[in-house]
Amino acid sequence: MTRSSVQVEDARPDAPDAGEQDDAAESGGDGESGGEGGGRVRPRRGRRALRWTAVILAVLLLGTAGAGYLYYQHLNDNIKKDVLNLGDHKVAEPTPNAAGQTPLNILVIGSDARDTEENRELGGARETFGSTPLADVQMLVHLSADRSNMSVVSMPRDTLVKIPKCTDPDDGKVYPASRGRVMTNQSLGHGGPGCTVATWQELTGIHIDHFVMVDFAGVVSMADAVGGVPVCVDANIHSRDGQGHGSGLKLEKGTHPVKGEQALQWLRTRYGFEDGSDLARAKAQHMYMSSMVRVLRENATLSSPGKLRRLAEEATRALTVDPGLDTVKKLYDLSTELRKVEPERITMTTMPNRYVGARVEPTEDAERLFRMVREDIALDGKDPEKKPAGAQTKVSDDPAAEDGEIAVQVRNGTRTDTRSQAPGRAGTVAALLVDKGFAKAVADPSVLPSEDRTVVRYPSADLEGDARRVAESLGIPPDSVRRSTDVSGVTLIVGADWREGTAYEPPAADDETPESAEALNGADEEACMHVNPAFTWS
């Protein structure tokens, strides 16, 4: 679905877009306000790259800033810790490659918490002071098993997802699974960042090794410590209209280094870039991130001990991490791994999505992107050889029941955006399973949204073996078997790739990064933001 170029405002009360003057007045709603449909206008996605900047700076530089044990321990004490995963669904680690290496997945979370004076000043929106924080920035950083390439997948904050049941280990409080789909940024309020991790794993099937969460505080000063990041505009720009909307960014045509407040303005600018949409703002943020990575690798001014010490102080105070990253030493070890990747092998993307009312949901292209990450396929297309489908899938140790004892529901998910549902597919495939000895296979007449590929879903670990046995009997590849809270038992969803016949032929793996992911290469120094003529000056 093509995004509209019409500029809309964010009517959500729970996540105003701080920093622009049009954010103060937002209307109310109840606890289900993040759900599907409705006539609400589309929310904006801001502040992503600002927090991403903090994370990259911290991870790349923290380890070089310590001077002596006491100072090292002081920095360690600055770092806040939280549990990695609060959900029941634990995705198996990927199978090591021939060299014994495994990929590394880090979820970067940006919290909009207004819990300190600094955060309130930076975040604005007084009506949100003291409210439950939201995970308004969510980016998965995937480092390949051989450490040759890195992929970044960002998820829009208003993506509709099922938040799984999460349990807070500190007080034992249980947050039940969401009723229906809600906005993904609400996951942070279900016990902390560990629930955001659980939500990602539930949606994508990707094993997440670590998370790093950052709030507003200290980010601007860290942007200053870098010494300026070059950005480009193709015309003079002033992000301000007659009603006071805009970030205030004012730049002349060409390439300019931005830092401090001006860097913050660049990262928040929506009014003035291209069509004024969040997609344009995300593109500007990705350009900033790529440029910043290049600066960090080349800028000699960061060798200054004083600057590094100040940066380390600010970064450690801004970070919340899982126990696997809770010391400067662990962060430095991670930075060593990340620094192995050259900028030209870094690919930044946004999860492909389409509108559902005022919100968005993942598309078939998003599932392709997730599969490529699961299978450790480079998003830049430069893998020396293609990995066979399912190569990174770890087979379950859960034994399957006898075929005749496995209850299977078969559903028809063959409808697509361009083709109607193929009639009778659930009944045909259910009958096929019965013929193969699965006597408890039945057709479910439920009307489903489209499934690009035929999949087998199961709700709990004790049914994984049964689900894999069903897939095996039909020739469905292992990577199409996934755990999901959307089903109550082993469920086979006949996808758009099996609209006819009784012999399933898995489609050839499409290992090209979807165009809808808006991929940006980390070495692209020619990228330049197009300025909307309504926001230029002479």
Q: Under a CB-based contact definition with an 8 Å cutoff, are residues 149 and 344 in contact?
A: no
Q: What is the C-alpha separation between 471 and 464, in angstroms, rounded?
A: 11
For the cut 60, the answer to whether the pLDDT of residue 422 exceeds it is: yes
Angstrom distances, CA of residue 215 to CA of 131, 318, 392: 14, 6, 34
408-412 and 174-175 strand pairing: unpaired
| Conformational region of residue 260, where left means phi above 0, alpha means psi within -120 to 50, and beta covers everything else | left
* Distance, CA of 444 to CA of 377 (rounded, Å): 35
Please give the structure tokens belonging to residue 137: 């920035």
Percent of the chain with pLDDT over 70: 76
Residue 370 has pLDDT above 60, yes or no: yes
Comparing CA positions, the residue from 193, 189, 183, 242 lying closest to residue 80 is 193
How far does Cα 38 stand from its chain's mean position?
24
pLDDT of residue 253: 97
110 contacts: CB under 8 Å, gap ≥ 6: 47, 48, 50, 51, 52, 135, 136, 137, 138, 213, 214, 215
Q: Model confidence over 306-358: pLDDT tens digits?
A: 666 766 777 787 789 999 999 988 988 898 898 889 999 999 999 999 888 88
CA-CA-CA-CA dihedral for 103, 157, 185, 36, to nearest 10: -120
What phi and psi values does residue 95 have, to the nearest 5 degrees? -70, 135
* Range from 29-38, 172-181, 288-297, 354-363 carrying the lowest mean pLDDT: 29-38
Average pLDDT value for residue range 84-110: 89
Distances (CA, A) of 209 to 88, 92, 140, 200, 322: 16, 11, 11, 12, 9
Distance CA 26, CA 127 (A): 9
- Tens digit of each residue's pLDDT (9 = 90 or more) over 146-195: 999 999 998 888 899 999 999 988 888 999 999 999 999 999 999 999 99
Confidence of residue 217 (pLDDT cuts 50, 70, 90): low
Express each pLDDT in 491-504 by its tens digit.
999 999 999 999 99
User: SS3 of 462, please?
Assistant: helix
Residue 424 — left, alpha, or beta (φ > 0 → left; ψ -120 to 50 → alpha)?
A: left
User: What is the pLDDT averaged over residues 260-277?
Assistant: 83
List, in sequence order, every residue forming a beta bridge with 106; answer none if it has no partner.
141, 210
d(Cα 411, Cα 501) in Å, to the nearest integer?
A: 16
Which pLDDT score, from 0 to 100, does residue 121 have? 57
pLDDT, mean over the chain: 80
Cross-strand pairs, 7: none
Task: Give pLDDT, residue 385.
Answer: 61
Dihedral angle sign, alpha carbons of residues 203, 211, 188, 260: negative
* Least confident span in 81-95, 136-150, 217-231, 368-382: 217-231
Is the confidence at residue 248, as pLDDT, over 50? yes
What is the predicted pLDDT for the residue at 22?
36
Share of the chain above pLDDT 90, in %: 45
* Residue 517 in tokens: 């992911």
With 60 as the cut, is the pLDDT of residue 411 above it? yes
Tokens of 399: 């034994």
Cα separations in angstroms, 425 against 47, 101, 130, 363, 476: 46, 41, 51, 22, 16
Tell me how far apart the alpha carbons of residues 52 and 534 are, in angstroms, rounded to a whole number.
29
pLDDT score, position 58:
52
What integer pLDDT is reported at residue 13 of this predicted model?
Answer: 34
pLDDT value of position 276: 82
Element (H, E) at 160: strand 160-161
